[in-house]
Structure 1
Amino acid sequence: MKIKMITVGKLKEKYLKDGIAEYVKRLSRFAKIEMIELADEKTPDKASLAENKAILKKESERILAKINEREYVIALAIEGKQFASEDFSQLVSDTMVKGYSDISFVIGGSLGLHETVKKRANLLMSFGLLTLPHQLMRLVLIEQIYRSFMIQQGSPYHK
């Protein structure tokens, strides 16, 4: 199985990089992990709605270029479905059973995701109504992916 995380924006904080690297290492026994970091568009202060839409469109083109037809795509969006960790683990397991060998997770930039990315996604997923920095979401998501595999293994990691 291959898990791809497609993210918009450069991760700068060392502590986040270190945490993500730790979970990528832990996950390597279960799946091949590919981290794809795409450039974000500069957003002017007090950007208009039209400017924001144009920025989202450019970022969406970069995202969609990294997704192939056969991937199961989970896009993080505030309006998406929320899961308990056990249910998320079941989703990952069911996705593999349904014949998908690749799962791609998409985290947009500070403006979120364009509708074209949301429409391509097989599932919109939310971590709740809280607003979290998209850089921090990478760490939260990779930990939950690792937790999902540990749940499947019956590991005491998930208590």
Structure 2
Amino acid sequence: MKITIISVGKLKEKYWRAAIEEYQKRLSRYCSLTLLEVADEKCPDNAGEEDKNIIRRKEGERIKAKIPGDAHIVTMEIQGKEHDSLGFAQWLDRLPHEGHSHLVFIIGGSLGLTEELCRRSSLSLSFSRLTFPHQMMRVILLEQIYRAYRINRNEPYHK
């Protein structure tokens, strides 16, 4: 399985990069993983709704340019479908049997994703109703993908 994660914004802090590198290393035995970043737009504190829509559209265009043609798209959204770890693992395990060999997760910027990108996705996924920093969400997503592979292969992993 090929997995691509497209995220808005640069990962600046060393500790986030170290965590991501660790999960990249762990996942290398299970899948082909690609992490892509697109530039974020600065949002003024006093931005109105139209300004926010413009920002989302600009970031959305950058994301769309990175989506491969064979992608099974999953958008990460607060209002998305929630799974527990076992349900997520079962979903991930079914994808190849349903003809999907390239999974693309999209993590938007601080203002979220455009409606167009959300409609284009096959699944809107949420790991929590809580809001997480985008850097942390990348690590959580990678950890859950790793956990899913371990579950699907009946390999031990801490609970």
Q: TM-score scaled to structure 1, two decimals? A: 0.97
* Runs of 4+ with deviation above 3 angstroms: none
**Paired positions, count:** 159
The answer to whether the Cα contact below 8 Å between 1:73 and 1:106 also exists between their aligned partners in 2 is: yes
Residues 1:103 and 2:100 aligned together? no
What's 2:133 paired with? 133
Whole-Å Cα distance in 2 between the matches of residues 54 and 87 of structure 1?
36
Given the superposition, is the C-alpha separation of residues 97 and 158 from structure 1 closer, same or farther in structure 2, using an over 3 Å criterion?
A: farther
Matched, 1:53 2:53: yes
Distance 1:13 1:141 in 2: 17
Q: Secondary structure at the match of 2:149?
A: helix
Task: Specify the alignment match of 2:120 in structure 1.
Answer: 120
* Residue type at the aligned position of 1:86: L
Give, in whole Å, the separation in 2 of the partners of 1:36 and 1:68.
Answer: 12
- For residues 65-85 of structure 1, what are the alpha-carbon distances to aligned partners after superposition, in whole Å with 9 as ceiling and x for unaligned? 111332111110011000000
Aligned match of 1:15: 15
1:103, CA displacement in angstroms? 0.3
Q: Aligned pair 1:3/2:3, yes or no?
A: yes
Maintained 8 Å contact 1:151/1:158: no
> Aligned partners of 1:41, 1:47: CA distance in 2, in Å?
12
CA separation in 1, counterparts of 2:68 and 2:4? 11
Which deviates the most, 61-70 or 19-28? 61-70
- Mapped to 2, the partners of 1:88 and 1:60 lie a distance apart of 26
Report how far residue 148 of structure 1 moved.
Answer: 0.5
2:147 counterpart SS class: helix
Match of 2:147 in 1: 147
Shift of 1:156: 1.4
Letter in 2 for 1:40: D
TM-score by length of 2: 0.97
Distance in 1 separating the partners of 2:30 and 2:128: 27
Unaligned runs of 5+ in 2: none
Q: State the identity as a percent.
A: 48
